[in-house]
Structure 1
Amino acid sequence: MKKGIIISSFLTFCLMTSIPTNAEKHYYLPAEKSKEELMMDLFLSVLSPNIDMAVANYYSDLLTERPGVYPYQINIINMERIGEYRSFEFLITLEVTPVVGPHIEVGKDQLTFNISPGNVKLTKFKHIETYELPPNWQHIKKK
């Protein structure tokens, strides 16, 4: 009897544990608690007002409530330096998931910024997907 309980517990544990894969993520994640993760979080925090403004501009025609984007809902798709080594102009493409209210996702968007010292310019905004709002949030949709 004990052996059966141990085996079924072990099988349940194995089924509930995720299986590691070598599948490549479509965005970059630095090692947890690394200096690189700290720098990336700092960078996304500084860029956050520009992201919020771009998202607010897009959704202002669709929703009466302004969606926000939390830094942990921003993924870096591509980042490149424009020009020679150690030039300070960059092109960065982000994927964001804007939310309203209690973290209700409204869509998925891709933003591309050109960044140079003292200048952040949105060069491309691509709406990827619209998520359906729950019934009690339908009232924020513009007709």
Structure 2
Amino acid sequence: MKKVIIVPSFLLLFLLSATITYAEPNYYQPAERSKEELVMDMYFSLLLPNVQKAVSNYYSDYLTISPLVYPYQINILKMERTNGYRGFIFLVTLEVTPVVGPHNPVGRDQLTFSITPGEVKLKNFTHMETYELPPNWQDIIKKKKYLHALNLSH
């Protein structure tokens, strides 16, 4: 009788512990519907044209169309003031996942921007990973360069 109770209890405990995680995301996420989330979304909206320009420039060597970056596909890796407390010169490093078509990811990239009042300047663009496109999207590939990038990222 004890085995009948103990075995299901351990099984239930195991299943619950496998689904509960205390891991934090590798980037900061404000509380849902908070003013902080609103400010972060506005920040991404303002920065998006610069992100899109950098991504389009990079992928123009590999694809015949420009992939898109959506604000919800931007993660902040690092943000800092570079000129002290309440200074308005910032350095921000982002990770983005550009997509084509119905959200087919083409890669993973890190972009670092210097932000001052009135100017956003790309300081560094690092392509981290190239993803293989589905068969029905192969026609947008500039074959040799993309295949070379795909081989380098594996």
Band the TM-score falls in, shorter-chain normalisation = 0.7 to 0.9
State the partner residue of 1:29: 29
State the partner residue of 2:62: 62
Determine what percentage of the aligned residue pairs are the same residue: 66
State the partner residue of 1:3: none
State the partner residue of 1:139: 139
- What is the CA deviation profile of residues 2-51 of structure 1, one whole-angstrom value per residue up to 9, with x for unaligned ones? xxxxxxxxx89x959x7232223211111111111000000000000000
Superposed, which structure 2 residues align to 1:1-143 within 5 Å?
19-143=19-143
Counterpart CA distance in 1 for 2:77 and 2:22 is 18
- Is there any run of 5+ residues in structure 2 with no aligned partner, and where? 1-10, 144-154
SS at match of 2:20: coil
State the partner residue of 2:146: none
**What is the TM-score when the length of structure 2 is the normalising length?**
0.80
Alignment-mate amino acid for residue 53 of structure 1: K
SS at match of 1:138: helix
Counterpart CA distance in 2 for 1:34 and 1:97 is 25
**What is the TM-score when the length of structure 1 is the normalising length?**
0.86
Alignment-mate amino acid for residue 68 of structure 2: G
Report the count of equivalent residues: 133
SS at match of 2:91: strand
**C-alpha deviation, 1:122, in angstroms:** 0.4
Alignment-mate amino acid for residue 94 of structure 1: L
Alignment-mate amino acid for residue 19 of structure 1: T
Supply the RMSD in Å over aligned alpha carbons.
2.0
**C-alpha deviation, 1:83, in angstroms:** 1.0
Superposition misfits of 4+ residues, deviation over 4 angstroms = none
SS at match of 1:121: strand
Counterpart CA distance in 2 for 1:19 and 1:89 is 42
Alignment-mate amino acid for residue 63 of structure 2: L
